[in-house]
Amino acid sequence: MENKVFSFLGLAQRSGQLVTGEDTCTLYAKKKVIQLIIVPQDASENTKKKFKDMANHRNIPFLIYANRESLSNAVGKSNRTVYGIKDKGFATKILSLVQDEKECPNHLGGE
């Protein structure tokens, strides 16, 4: 399932609907352009808290997902810590795919 999430991140990147990096995502979140914020599991606790608080304050869905290397490879940009999805359709689909992963009993990260 992870491959589908990474595929959608790559599609979002190629279609110009993905912004990356802490500063850029902060700017776009303040402008209320971002529909979903994704932070990798191996990001610092400070970064996770900062963006979770920002997302909650602005009613933006927030997701801690995968690791920095996997996400960076999916979008073709190295060493990015924060990802923002601008398109509502991409955001909804990615959230749906991640939810499906959590519900799948064979997934290592499942409940």
Return the domain boundaries, the chain: 2-103
pTM, to two decimals:
0.91
53: pLDDT strictly greater than 80:
yes
Distance CA(92)–CA(111), nearest Å, equals 21
Tell me how far apart the alpha carbons of residues 24 and 5 are, in angstroms, rounded to a whole number: 22
39 within 8 A of 25, measured Cβ to Cβ: no
- Token output for 91: 């955001």
The CATH code belonging to domain 2-103 is: 3.30.1330.30
Give the whole-angstrom CA distance, residue 88 versus residue 90.
Answer: 6
Identify residue 50 by its one-letter amino acid code.
K
61 pLDDT more than 70: yes
Give the model's pLDDT for residue 2. 53
